[in-house]
Structure 1
Amino acid sequence: MFKKVLALAATALFSMSAHAGYIKYELSRPSAAGYGSNYIIIRDQDKSVARYNITTSEGQFYTQDVGDSWTRNSLIETTTSFIGYGPTNLYAYNWINESSESRMWLMFSAGATDDTFNYSMHVFTKPGFNAYRPDTIPTRDVYYSGTAKQVAVSNEELMWADDPRYYRLSYDVPYYDPTQVPEPGSLALLAVGALGAVGVARRSKKSA
């Protein structure tokens, strides 16, 4: 029993360091997408978003470049799941020159394999609060769906992921349901606590 608990603690503690870093998911491009690849990069430690780039006909949502003055992108809210239902979900906002604004909801669910997930995307676009010709900017409410596959993160992406000189992105640790299966850190604490309980039981048995 003692050896089994010790193995559990070692495995959980090792997982805390082994899974450190970044994970990239590449999305199958929506049928009406404009250009570029669609992807999201998350920090494996807390599932927060490091970078993202999603392009559709209704708007482009991406990590704000420091030098951009004509457009604004922001990450409004994130949620995630630690039990295999997919990467971190996004709710993002984008407006260009105050003339057009778009909002995007990107949700993930379990896929056919461990490294592939399904996604559903909702994009809503309308004229901005300072549009010169609002009648020329149509209001759109569009839905997309596809798959997201885990791929390798390039060295360039790793270098720029958390560098404030290149990108401006608020650090948002996503909400998750506390009733879900705990992360390796929680498992490690539980295992360490179990080790203590086993030790107390062994000492009590010897003293008896």
Structure 2
Amino acid sequence: MIKKLIALAATTLFSLDASAGYIQYDLSGNGISGYVVQHDDDHSIAFYQIFIDTERAYARFAAAHGEDNITGATTRFGDGGPTNFAAFDSLSRVYVYNIALDYQSTGSAGVYRFSARYSQREHPEYANDPWAGELVPLALRFSGTARVTAVDPGLVNFIDGEGGYPDGLTRLVPAPVAVPEPAGLGLLGLGLAALAAALRRRSPAR
């Protein structure tokens, strides 16, 4: 019994050490799935793998894929939470795929709502490429739930071995999402009311 307890404690410590420094969010929605791993200190994206799978489109976004990268990152969670980010994949430079994730709080610890925008198109500079003309331009929206889960120790070792950002993944520390202050909203409301009154005065009498 004592040996089993020692083994269990050692396994637990190893798991905690292996996932230290990272946090993972599993994505689940209709037509979209995958996961995102981010650094738990500056919340920059460390790894991601996202699948789009519908009757109209199939795509895979993955860090360390060679042609995937992040183009922007923001956050609305000042005390830590999932990072909104946009990424692209350029398949053989001819096809361009884009994904953008945006998270909202659900009020439950470790659970978030997300919305996603997906698009695909052909790069205009490669219109004469043999692969051109086969991809239908498309824009889709998805939604689902993101949940905090344990990071696989093997993935942690891989990310660490790549210096925290596999295969040249751009390190982007998320900028806070700008939220209008109450005073600013009040001034905006007064301005709109004044504009409406002025328009009414200018309207000809019937």
Q: How does 1:25-36 map to 2 (within 5 A)?
A: 25-31=25-31, 33=32
**1:6-46 Cα distance to aligned partner (Å, 9 max, x none):** xxxxxxxxxxxxxx611100000442x5xxx5000111101
Instruction: Specify the alignment match of 1:47 in structure 2.
Output: 43
Please give the alpha-carbon distance, in whole angstroms, between the structure 1 residues aligned to 2:178 and 2:107. Answer: 26
The equivalent residue for 2:101 is 106
CA drift at 1:135: 2.9
The one-letter amino acid paired with 2:105 is A
1:168 Cα offset (Å): 2.8
Aligned with residue 125 of structure 1, among 114, 120, 137: 120
For 1:82 and 1:138, locate their aligned partners in 2 and report how far apart those are by CA, in whole Å.
Answer: 36
Contact 1:40 1:51 in 2 (8 A): yes
Where does the alignment leave 5 or more consecutive residues of structure 1 unmatched?
A: 1-19, 180-208
Q: 1:136 to 1:176 in 2, by over 3 A?
A: same
* Equivalent residue, structure 2, for 1:170: 170
The 3-state SS of whatever aligns with 1:87 is coil
User: 1:152-196: per-residue Cα shift (whole Å, max 9, x none)?
Assistant: 1111111112322863312211112599xxxxxxxxxxxxxxxxx
1:153–1:22 distance in 2 versus 1, CA, 3 Å: same
Q: What are the ranges of 5 or more consecutive residues in structure 2 without an aligned counterpart? A: 1-19, 180-206
Aligned length: 152
1:148 to 2:140 alignment: no
Counterparts in 2 of 1:7-18, with a 5 A limit?
none
Q: Quick one: structure 1 residues 142 and 177, their matched pair in 2 at CA, closer, same or farther if it must change by over 3 Å?
A: closer
> Is the Cα contact below 8 Å between 2:30 and 2:143 reproduced in 1?
yes
Aligned with 2:71: secondary structure? strand
Percent identity over the alignment? 24
- Paired with 1:178 and 1:105, the residues of 2 have a C-alpha distance of 18
2:29·2:143 contact (CA, 8 Å) conserved in 1?
A: no
SS of the residue corresponding to residue 159 of structure 1 reads helix
- 1:201 is matched with none
Cα distance in 1 for partners of 2:92, 2:81 equals 34
Matched, 1:116 2:114: no
Distance 1:125 1:148, change over 3 A: same
TM-score relative to the length of structure 1? 0.65
Q: How far does residue 103 in structure 1 lie from its aligned partner after superposition?
A: 1.0
Contact 1:126/1:139 (CA < 8 Å) preserved in 2? yes
Aligned residue among 133, 136, 156 for 1:158: 156
TM-score for the superposition, normalised by structure 2: 0.66
Give how far 1:132 is off.
2.6
The yes-or-no answer on 1:97 pairing with 2:97 is no
4+ runs deviating over 6 angstroms: none
